[in-house]
Structure 1
Amino acid sequence: MDSGSKLLETYYAALRESKLLSYMSIAFTVIGLAQYFSFGYKLTSLLFQLFLIPGRSLSKYGAKKGAWAVVTGASDGIGKEYAEQLAKAGFNILLVSRTESKLATLSSEIESAYPKSSTKYLAIDFASAGDAEYVKLKAVVDELDVGVLVNNVGQSHSIPVPFYLVDDKELADIIAINDLATLRVTRIILPQLLASRRGLILTMGSFGGYFPTPYLSVYSGSKAFLQHWSSALAVELEGTGVDVEFVLSYLVTSAMSKIRRSSALIPTPKQFVASTLSSIGLSRGAQLVSYSSTPYWSHAIFQFFVDQSVGAWSRAVAASNLKMHMQIRKRALKKAEREKST
């Protein structure tokens, strides 16, 4: 091959390489623009859902039409707020929780504040409930026109704890209350919702289940289970008239969280429940989780930005959770020692 041919071949090779580089540059530019516009669309969707778009009307589920809302874990905190705000919206309320005296008091308070709403209550300790308790619940529910079920009952660890130190009873109680009770109560009520072709099933989730949470591992796993179960159930019930929504939250002031002071990131139960009931059907922050919502505005924004870089942040979130709960456990153990010595 003479020098002229070699020069020509080198020229064509360089040309092919430059075209390849050009195509690669175009491809990366297109991918970058797609990511940019995707982020913009998701952020716009989040802001519209948080501040402009209303959720479904509760009248779809029988509000002000004689329908009943069943609320588990109803005697305190978030469950109590669900009961009160659903009564205000025009539902009759069936209160289900462990302590009968608290249920009786709440029942009287609701009927006094909302005379158009009737109440019933049933005391069940879901940690130890057997077939007899669920038979009683079914007997009560079968006499009602149920439109809404709020699966709110739940239990976490008494203090953060490494998994190998979790007490057998606490482990069993968390699974029985958070998972088994939710499944059995839903299975009792669902046939009635399907028969009437209208209903709403709200199940309370937690960032503690959405993100791996060391030192609360059993609680974290129980909530992760509910998330997948709820999404699967939602797909099963598409087109039946029964809506299923898994409600994610960060911390809320409550007996379970042991936080008393609210802040921009930690709402009161009243604030949290109001945001939930006003945004039914909107995902808000839970844009990567099917049939789920993160209704409270600061929780939604926090989840949105973590989700956008989930690969980079997942380990950091887990590590942060571990550090926080180790500190909480340390303080709790010191407090217990002080109380023991006095």
Structure 2
Amino acid sequence: MSSFSEKFVQIIQEHDLSIFLAFFSIVGAFVAVTKALSFWKLLFDLYLRPGKSLKQFGADTGAWAVITGASDGIGKEFACQLAAAKFNVLLISRTELKLQNLSNDIESKYQVESKTYAMDFAKGDKKDYENLKEIIGKLNVGVLINNVATNHEIPTPFILETDEVINNIVEVNVAGFLRITKIVLPRMISSNRGLIINVGSFSGMVPTPYLSVYSASKAFMSTFSAALGTELNSKGIVVENVNLYFVVSAMSKIRKSSWLVPQPKPCVKSILSKIGVSGGASNVPYSSCVYPSHALANWLITNTFNQSFWVNNGLSINEDIRKRALRKREREAAASKAQ
């Protein structure tokens, strides 16, 4: 028996065991009360606490919102809702036709100005960033939505993933994200106001096997947001890493919404109405999780089982998804040969 164990037994023998039972009861009660208070704070954040007004960042004053990945899904919804709040919008994405159609719709519906810039973030073209720096340098930017991202095509072990996919994720989700932020920041600092929303992911909170590079890129976003948010806190600039679960989108490959998987519109509405409210992500500085079902899931993950449980659970889920995806590819290949 170790010396520690011997000492512990000796203390129990020398004292009334009821003292120790009372101590552990108090500890258990303290933990339970702490969890309960945390849950009530979550409900208060989601349903009662107001977020910062978008007017604080230049809504209806001629200010601009810069949105990356703006042509589809969450990015498109951010563009529309910020235009509805009377921000002019700079739309950045890969497909020129989609951008132009969205720009025309926004100008017609919301009577604001819009500009577009088509670029493929995966290429990391220095000329694209120079052009954007010139465009953005002339704008009064109040909001930046860092939404553009790319993922693994299907869950894949790191050793089997292609170099192209790995490089694309790093280039888009890390390098491109940093470059756009660096370009926009001087415009915000000069006006002593700004809002930077970084569209994050649960996989950045819990390491996700078979999506290792994407998961790491979102963890980077969370860490960077906390560091940058602290740097800019005294300058009137709000930085927020928005922790999202699945949303109906092309990247998630989910087409049908559910209680846990919303359409982009209500998800973005909840984010913009709760700026500065942590919700289910109160354990991570400069992060938020305010769409109700996502916030509850976030709270359960951080307040129930330990991280190892969730990592192993993710492994099982993604192994199953990979098997089904590979079987689908085999069926499609066989059908193509039959034709």
For 2:235, what is the secondary structure of its paired residue? coil
Q: Distance in 2 between matches of 1:272 and 1:177?
A: 23
The structure 2 residue matched to 1:140, chosen from 135, 142, 155, is: 135
Q: Distance in 2 between matches of 1:147 and 1:14?
A: 63
Per-residue CA distance 1:11-32 (angstroms, 9 max, x = gap): xx9999346x565445434423
CA contact (8 A) 2:200 2:244 kept: yes
The structure 2 residue matched to 1:240, chosen from 211, 235, 241, is: 235
Cross-structure match for 1:326 = 319
- Corresponding residue pairs, total: 326
By how many angstroms is 1:186 displaced? 0.3
Structure 2 CA distance for partners of 1:24 and 1:144, relative to 1, 3 Å? same
Cross-structure match for 2:221 = 226
Per-residue CA distance 1:68-89 (angstroms, 9 max, x = gap): 0000000100000000011011
Cross-structure match for 2:4 = none
Residue 46 of structure 1 pairs with residue 42 of structure 2: yes
Identity over aligned pairs, percent: 48
Residue 87 of structure 1 pairs with residue 80 of structure 2: no
Q: Distance in 2 between matches of 1:175 and 1:16?
A: 59
For 1:79, what is the secondary structure of its paired residue? helix
Cross-structure match for 2:169 = 174
Q: Distance in 1 between matches of 2:88 and 2:276?
A: 22
Query: TM-score, normalising length from structure 2?
Result: 0.92
Per-residue CA distance 1:258-301 (angstroms, 9 max, x = gap): 00000000001111111111111011000211110012101111
For 2:167, what is the secondary structure of its paired residue? helix
Q: Distance in 2 between matches of 1:49 and 1:35?
A: 21
Residue 337 of structure 1 pairs with residue 337 of structure 2: no
Q: For residue 255 of structure 1, what is the amino acid of its counterpart? A: A
Q: For residue 189 of structure 1, what is the amino acid of its counterpart? A: V
Q: Distance in 1 between matches of 2:20 and 2:189?
A: 54
Q: Distance in 2 between matches of 1:149 and 1:318?
A: 32
Cross-structure match for 2:261 = 266
Cross-structure match for 1:306 = 301
User: Structure 2 stretches of 5 or more lacking a match?
Assistant: 1-9
The structure 1 residue matched to 2:187, chosen from 189, 192, 208, is: 192
Q: Distance in 2 between matches of 1:17 and 1:335?
A: 67
Q: Distance in 1 between matches of 2:97 and 2:11?
A: 85
Cross-structure match for 1:103 = 99
Q: Distance in 2 between matches of 1:158 and 1:89?
A: 35
By how many angstroms is 1:164 displaced? 0.5
Residue 253 of structure 1 pairs with residue 248 of structure 2: yes
Q: Distance in 2 between matches of 1:128 and 1:22?
A: 68
CA contact (8 A) 2:139 2:187 kept: no
Structure 2 CA distance for partners of 1:27 and 1:172, relative to 1, 3 Å? same
Q: Distance in 2 between matches of 1:205 and 1:153?
A: 10
Structure 2 CA distance for partners of 1:14 and 1:97, relative to 1, 3 Å? closer
Q: Distance in 1 between matches of 2:331 and 2:12?
A: 79
Structure 2 CA distance for partners of 1:15 and 1:193, relative to 1, 3 Å? closer
Cross-structure match for 2:154 = 159
Q: Distance in 2 between matches of 1:330 and 1:286?
A: 32
User: Structure 1 stretches of 5 or more lacking a match?
Assistant: 1-12
Please provide the CA RMSD for this pair: 1.8
Per-residue CA distance 1:64-120 (angstroms, 9 max, x = gap): 1111000000010000000001101111100011111111011001111111x1100
Per-residue CA distance 1:131-186 (angstroms, 9 max, x = gap): 21111001000111000000000000111111101111110000100010010100
Residue 32 of structure 1 pairs with residue 25 of structure 2: no
Residue 56 of structure 1 pairs with residue 52 of structure 2: yes
Q: Distance in 1 between matches of 2:324 and 2:224?
A: 35
Q: Distance in 1 between matches of 2:149 and 2:320?
A: 23
Q: Distance in 2 between matches of 1:29 and 1:14?
A: 18
The structure 2 residue matched to 1:284, chosen from 279, 282, 293, is: 279
The structure number with the bigger radius of gyration is: 1
Q: For residue 140 of structure 2, what is the amino acid of its counterpart? A: D
Q: Distance in 2 between matches of 1:104 and 1:14?
A: 76
For 2:238, what is the secondary structure of its paired residue? strand
Cross-structure match for 2:201 = 206
